[in-house]
Amino acid sequence: MPLTFTNRLIAWQKRAGRHDLPWQKTRDPYRIWLSEIMLQQTQVSTVIPYYQRFLASFPDVQALAAAPIEAVIEHWAGLGYYARARNLHRCAQRVAAEFAGEFPQSAEQLAELPGIGRSTAAAIAAFAFGQRAAILDGNVKRVLCRQFGVEGFPGQAAIHNQLWELAERLLPAGDIEAYTQGLMDLGATLCGRSRPRCADCPVAADCIARRDGRQGELPTARPRPAVPERTASFALIVDDGRLLLERRPPSGLWGGLLVPPEGEVEGTLQRLGLNLIAQRPLPPLKHAFTHFRLTLHPVLCEVERSLTVGEPGLEWIALERAADAGVPAPIRKLIRQVANSRD
């Protein structure tokens, strides 16, 4: 069965898989690496415009390594999972400094670089260097669990190791690029979480989940703990058509991005040395993260004209341009609501 699965998948990918994505038809490890990092936890349709803008500003690994982290974060704003952007920058600097700007060719060496795990390293090695290495991202886990009837939550160590052993066993002797892309294509286009398109699947004939009608049960879901709820207050401080934004610390929530100053209005204005003219609470805004839900409580504040503020990391930005600065997605939505209400 493993050989049948592998051969059918390769044939299907060559015939019906994806062949026109912006990062395909290249052996450039920089472009392949960039796409693989962006595609972690993010759909292709979302990644494409970010990928194209990123390459326009940072065309090679040396350009990215030399760029300030603030510029990298701003190009990433809205893509989410911002640790990826910080690791991307660190990785570029390592490649530039330790490998003279040339990515190492082995999956083992690639996996030692910041932000590149075992599966991502294997994908880069396969697509850039034709190396025979196994991938095991979330989509691939779903395909393998359904195809071979693997029981248990894939995040558990024993199941995770079982899937890696299976992924290694399935590797073809050749056509590693078509096989690797085929796994990605199958998980992304046919074997989705809900409503898998089994009638179009090239390996459906041997799929245990399809045979037993268990597509909705496999892979086994993660045991769900209660999702923590958090709240945060933000002061949207405006002065003569400008909005005050503050850069977050480089690590933690929204690390390196610009946001309105966080905290209760009175204490925030006192900290910044600003005098309040008027304030108005805005409707709460809810945003879901992977491990918790956040409710933002924004307050619109008008202050006396101020040319400077008393702390580093603070910027006055024209309100109509603030949503396009390096701000996280929920803050962008909030700024646009405020800007539209003042038109």
Task: Provide the annotated active-site residues.
Answer: 36
CB atoms within 10 A of CB 104: 19
> E strands along the chain, which residues?
229-239, 242-247, 258-259, 276-281, 285-288, 293-303, 314-318
Q: How far is CA 282 from CA 137, 234, 285, 298, 337, in A?
A: 40, 10, 9, 5, 10
Find out whether 178 and 13 touch, Cβ atoms under 8 Å. yes
Phi, psi for 326 (deg, rounded to 5): -75, 75
Which residues make Cβ contacts (< 8 Å) with residue 142, sequence separation at least 6?
187, 191, 193, 218, 219
Which has the closest alpha carbon to 320: 302, 297, 338, 300? 338
For the stretch 31-38, contacts whose Cβ atoms lie closer than 8 Å and that sit 24 or more positions apart, written own/partner, are 31/55, 32/123, 32/124, 32/127, 32/128, 33/91, 33/103, 33/116, 33/124, 33/128, 34/88, 36/120, 36/123, 36/124, 37/84, 37/87, 37/88, 37/115, 37/116, 37/120, 38/79, 38/84
CA distance 77 to 70: 10
Which has the closest alpha carbon to 142: 153, 133, 134? 153
Find out whether 185 and 13 touch, Cβ atoms under 8 Å. yes
